[in-house]
Amino acid sequence: MDNIWANLFVKNKHIRHIIASWEGLPGNARGSIWLLSGGLFATVMVTGIKFAGQRLPVLEILFLRQMFLFLMLTPILTKEFPGAFRTKRLKLHLTRCAVSIVAMVTGFTAIVHLPLAEATAISFSRALFATLLAVLVLKELVGIRRWGATIIGFIGVLIIVQPTSDGINAYALLAIFSAALVSCNLIMTKKLTTTESPTTIMAYHAGVLTLAYAGPCWWLWIEPTWFEIFLIIGIAGLMSAVQYCIIRGYRDAEASAAQPLEYVRLLYAASIGFLIFAEIPTTWTWIGASLIIASSLYTVKRNTMNNS
């Protein structure tokens, strides 16, 4: 896809200058810009899902979004067929898709029912789950400092969800579960980017998820309005942009350098939540989010120093 855009603009000297300046940036800088852009697109996208989810089932929204996304990718897939689907890592693609299916259903259900800032803050706990996965799956050794940072981060999650004698809000639990699955997904995405092109990764993701959501959507179908259809088309376009930004971000930059910028999403979510849904984040949300972000940044710093 990069070659397509380059061919379109190669005769324009101003565009060539911009491309040259972009390619001259360090990889960490390019990756950071990709991830910042992806964070903004993701926040706008989930805002649209929260809007549509006031009337339509989440599974229907996800099916329509994936279908429109696949249609948007069709010109690229046709041009690069069959190369776009050629892979030696089919099992990893399918595993990533399975994890994405559950992560999206649980995550977006939580977004529909929770304030945007609260749902976003909880989603940051995926960095904490990454530490747990490093120990349980990758068998890495984690020192007392990183364990301490992880514990503080999970205390931040508890402050946000505020469990009582009656239990924890079910939608908050879904948000936490989704964050754990997203952490798994990011690890698999990082592995895939070492051998697969962004087009191949997006092609499998869009195709498999469209088929997976089709069955449940049949039983839950509610006739969407034209406004809702156009809204979901916009969501699909943003999803494509988010996927591409994340893939390019993690390909161009070290995760330890780019990941901290993702926390700007909390400001995006708080602003959009206030302006559109009149949501005002509670003091506990900000305190809990601060602990999660601080512990995550500390963990990233320790990882960069290669120190447990």
207 found inside a domain: yes
Is 169 within the bounds of a domain?
Answer: yes
What's phi and psi for 164, nearest 5 deg?
-120, -175
Looking at the domain assignment, is residue 3 inside a domain? no
Read off the pLDDT of each residue in 273-280 and give the average, rounded to a whole number: 87
In a domain, 158, yes or no: yes
Q: Is 75 exposed, middle or buried (0-12, 13-18, 19+ CB in 10 A)?
A: exposed
What's residue 301's pLDDT? Answer: 65
The upper half-sphere exposure of residue 141, i.e. CA atoms within 13 Å in the direction of its Cβ, equals: 4
How many structural domains does the chain have? 1
Asked, for residue 26, whether it belongs to a domain, the answer is: no
Average pLDDT of 64-83? 80
In this model, does residue 254 exceed pLDDT 70?
no
Domain hosting residue 86, numbered range: 49-304
19 lies in some domain: no
Residue 9 predicted with pLDDT over 80: no
CA atoms of 194 and 100, how far apart (whole Å): 19
Instruction: Tell me what the pLDDT averaged over the chain comes to.
Output: 80
Residue 8 in domain: no
**Confidence check: pLDDT of 18 > 70:** no
What's the N-to-C CA distance of the chain in angstroms? 39
pLDDT-above-90 percentage for the chain: 17
Average pLDDT over residues 13-20: 65
Whole-number percent of the chain with pLDDT over 70: 81
Is residue 34 domain-resident? no
